[in-house]
Amino acid sequence: MGIHSPTLLLASLLLSQLSVLGEWEKHVIVQGKGSMNVAVAADFDQDGHVDAMTSFSDGVTVFRGPDWKTSRQVTRFKDAYEGERKIRSGCIHGCLLDVDQDGDQDFVGSNQMVFWLECPDKPFEQDWTFRVIDEQILGTHCLITGDVDQDGKLDLIANSGRSENTAFPNSIVWLQAPANPKSGTPWTRRVFADKDAPGGSHYMGFGDVNRDGLPDVACGAKGGEKFPGGEWFAVWEQGRDGKSPWKKRILSDRQPGASNILPGDLDGDGLVDYLASRGHGKGVFWFKAEANSIKGGKFSPDFTPIEIDPTIERPHSLALADFDRDGDMDAATCGSLVTGEAVWYENDGKGKFTRHLLGKNQSSYDLRSVDMDGDEDLDVLIAGHFSSNLVWYENPHKSTVDPFPGKQSSWKGFAMNEFKLGNRNCKVVRPKKAAPGRPWIWRARFWGHEPQTDLALLNRGWHVAYSDVGNLFGAPQAVALWDKFHEKMTNEHGLAKKVALEGMSRGGLIIYNWAKKNPGETLCIYADAPVLHFESWPGGKGKGKGSKGTWAKCLQVYGLTEKEAETFRGLPLYGLESLAKQKVPLLHVVGQADTVVPVEENTDLLEKSYRSLGGSIKVIRKKGVGHHPHSLKDPQPIVSFVLDSWKSRGSQK
């Protein structure tokens, strides 16, 4: 399979240090009776504070932040499920997914089936509706989300780990929600590892490792006497067309107790590696991707296993995140009560890890990196199986982010900073509490016009930024100014590298031209009645009237004559290959009766071109509407598009 020798290469590691950067304080959300297997967190009631959720005592319970003293058991399994199957007292695993696309996080769990709980308007006062997703997927030890088919919507990936008494033994599937998931219509099930994951398959990782533009799924299987055929880590690679059978590659078949595997660039070489743990054995290690195999024009890395911590007992849970805010990926895990150690591993950026103790007397079945206290660093949330508790460890690494410059004021109830970069007016509006990863949306034109999308994102913890280059019509000068703004926002002020772009009308010129130059930093594009070719507007060479004076200014900025403009290709309609290769999702909102920026000369042409390149684009067409008003009265489709893009391409990358 092209895999290096299973001999494990020891990385430099200090095995017993406490963090020199400060001790992590342990906070107990609940100490209960029985096993707690699930730890998830989100702002379910949208009050600006992170809430926590776990499964114990015959159901699922949510705890209200910021003190988590108020709680509600949102469902009891014996009351919620009406089928004949005997149901467990708790979930074996769970995750979050906005199943019904209403802007809040629903809960997905496994309990002798896969199900979801609908988050109501008042999650601490109302029960959450229980709905079955799939009753045939059994022995599910892992549920993760990802956009498998690259259609802009998150899908659900689950393992069917049971070896008998099921229609899908030793398999892995992905599940696609129906158009109306509340209707009871069955989810579409696609089995891509058909009876091909034996030996007690456990946790999975999701991401494009072979750089073919399609996400892959990795998994580990614990093995042992009761689970023959395990002790492996493997990755299933999608077929190039997204339809042909997935190809299985064994990373290693000599890993007793194999359980967790997560993709990420651990040594800063631009290749995606895998972090792994033997959750039913001993040790944490990583698979280093080696760029030495190109077959048939397809990149296919080999992997070298490198030990991180060979001593930790039963590290059943695993997280990959930048805990010390230095720009590289660290790790966290927790052993069994044999040692009772929760630890994090500090990465030096080159794949060498130093072990730091979080706390003792703690076990774990599920572990997540979450900003629990809203201080813009990632904490560690743990569901303790044998310790019967839900706890979180507070990250002591305080933010080193510089404050935004300029004049401070208020915009729509949010704090705003106004400043100049060069001679350009810039604005940054801050949320009341930044979302983990510090996501942001960058508006190109018409500050404050139809602000409903920006306001909705501010309420979800997003920053909103603006840099006025409207009179440059997306010319190289505008792109250069935006490059400087992006560098300042990310390097000095800690905003996410990948940014959502928002452009109305002529703003389409700048967001697309900047994105084509910076596809790796472009999270997604929301374009509203966008100008995509300057001969359409302001040139007025097609169906639109154009603007004679503005057209002259546009040509001057680009340094073109009218004749040269006819064959100029430095515009959004051309050269979209870089965006398609990076799988940047696009959303256009247009008025079908637009006579200023005719749809057929702009969005229709780009849509056709981007689809031909394999790109994902959705167009919302407003019948009978002209160039104005921009946006949507209810911005939820736009907001969901941006949030889903962040979840699938930003927050976990």
Return the ∠ at Cα 153 (arms to 148 and 155), rounded to 5°: 45
* CA–CA separation, 277 and 203 (whole Å): 10
Residues 6+ apart with CB under 8 A from 423: none
- Please name the residue that has the structure tokens 């003190």: 67
Torsion from C-alpha of 474, 478, 484, 485, nearest 10 degrees: -70
Which tokens sit at 368? 């997540």
- pLDDT surpassing 70 at residue 10: no
Distance between first and last Cα of the chain: 27
Question: Residue holding tokens 């407003």?
Answer: 622
In angstroms, what is the C-alpha Rg of the chain? Answer: 25
Mean predicted confidence (pLDDT) in 522-550: 96
HEC sequence for 612-640? HCCCCEEEEEECCCCCCCCCCCCCHHHHH
Q: What is the pLDDT of residue 271?
A: 86
- Residue 402 in this model has a pLDDT that exceeds 90: no
Beta bridge partners of 55: 60
Tens of pLDDT, residue by residue over 445-469, are 899 999 999 999 999 889 999 999 9
Among 69-73, 195-199, 491-495, which stretch is predicted with the lowest mean pLDDT?
491-495
Residue 12 has pLDDT above 70, yes or no: no
Read off φ and ψ for residue 507, nearest 5 degrees.
-60, -20
Is the per-residue pLDDT at 24 higher than 60?
yes
Q: Mean of the pLDDT values across residues 510-529?
A: 96
78-82, 221-225, 262-266, 514-518: least confidently modelled range: 78-82
Q: For residue 96, what are the β-bridge partners?
A: 107
Q: Which two tokens stand for residue 537?
A: 């507007």
Establish how many alpha carbons lie within 13 A of residue 288's alpha carbon, considering only the half-sphere containing its beta carbon. 20
pLDDT tier for residue 32 given thresholds of 50, 70 and 90: confident
Phi and psi of 564, rounded to 5°? -65, -30
Question: Does position 51 have pLDDT exceeding 80, yes or no?
Answer: yes
Phi, psi of 67 (to 5 degrees): -105, -10
Tokens encoding 232: 């492996």
Question: Contact, 55 vs 36, CB < 8 A?
Answer: yes
Q: Is 113:135 a contact under the CB 8 Å cutoff?
A: yes
Compute the distance between CA of residue 6 and CA of residue 305 in angstroms, rounded to an integer: 7
Handedness of CA 625, 626, 632, 638 (dihedral sign): positive
Quick check: 17 pLDDT over 50? Answer: no
Residues 6+ apart with CB under 8 A from 180: none
Task: Give the model's confidence band at 653: pLDDT under 50 very low, under 70 low, under 90 confident, else very high.
Answer: very low
| CA–CA dist 376, 460 (Å, integer) | 14
Strand order in the sheet with 93-97: 93-97, 106-110, 114-118, 129-134
- C-beta separation of 274 from 250 below 8 A: no
pLDDT for 18 beyond 70: no
Query: Quick one: what percent of the chain has pLDDT higher than 90?
Result: 71
CA-based angle 536:538:543, to the nearest 5? 35
Tell me the two tokens of residue 117.
């709980």
Amino acid at 162: R
CA distances from 649 to 457, 515, 521 (A): 17, 15, 10
What single DSSP character describes residue 362? -
Q: Residues with Cβ < 8 Å from 550, sequence gap 6 or more?
A: 538
* pLDDT, greater one: 409 or 600: 600
In tens, the pLDDT along 594-633 reads 999 999 999 999 999 999 999 999 999 999 999 999 999 9
- The predicted pLDDT at position 9 comes to 35
Note whether 491 and 529 are within 8 A (CB).
Answer: no
Residues of the chain above pLDDT 70, percent? 94
SS3 419: strand
The model's pLDDT over 98-148, given as tens digits with 9 standing for 90+, comes to 999 887 899 999 998 999 999 999 999 998 999 999 999 999 999 999 888
| Token couple for 384 | 């303790």
Structure tokens at 485: 């703004």
Token look-up 């050269």 returns 575
| pLDDT tens digits along 241-271 | 667 899 999 999 999 999 999 998 899 888 8
Residue 478's φ and ψ, nearest 5 degrees, are -65, -45
Q: Is the per-residue pLDDT at 383 higher than 80?
A: yes
The SS3 assignment for 561 reads: coil
> Is a pLDDT exceeding 70 seen at residue 30?
yes
Question: Quick one: pLDDT at residue 376?
Answer: 74
Put the strands of the sheet holding 330-334 in their side by side order: 317-321, 330-334, 342-347, 353-359
pLDDT in tens, 316-356: 999 998 898 777 889 999 998 777 899 999 999 999 999 99
Query: Could you tell me the pLDDT band of residue 295, with boundaries at 50, 70 and 90?
Result: low
Break the chain down into helix, strand, coil percent, rounded to 5: 15, 35, 50
Nearest to 234 by CA among 162, 290, 303: 303
When pLDDT is cut at 50, 70 and 90, the band that residue 399 belongs to is low
Residue type, 404: F
| Residue 84 pLDDT exceeds 80 | no
Confidence of residue 401 (pLDDT cuts 50, 70, 90): low
CA–CA dist 9, 146 (Å, integer): 32
At 293, list the tokens. 């195999």
Nearest of 394, 260, 399 to residue 318 by alpha carbon? 260
Q: Which helix (DSSP H) or strand (DSSP E) does residue 129 occupy? A: strand 129-134
The H-or-E segment that residue 643 falls in is: helix 636-645
Contact by Cβ (8 Å): 499, 407: no
Question: What are the backbone dihedrals phi and psi of residue 494, each rounded to the nearest 5 degrees, phi first?
Answer: 70, 15
Angle at 358 between CA 352 and CA 361, to 5 degrees: 130
Which residues, in sequence order, are CB contacts of 330 under 8 Å at separation 6+? 320, 321, 322, 323, 324, 344, 345, 346, 347, 353
Which tokens is 333 given?
A: 């895990």
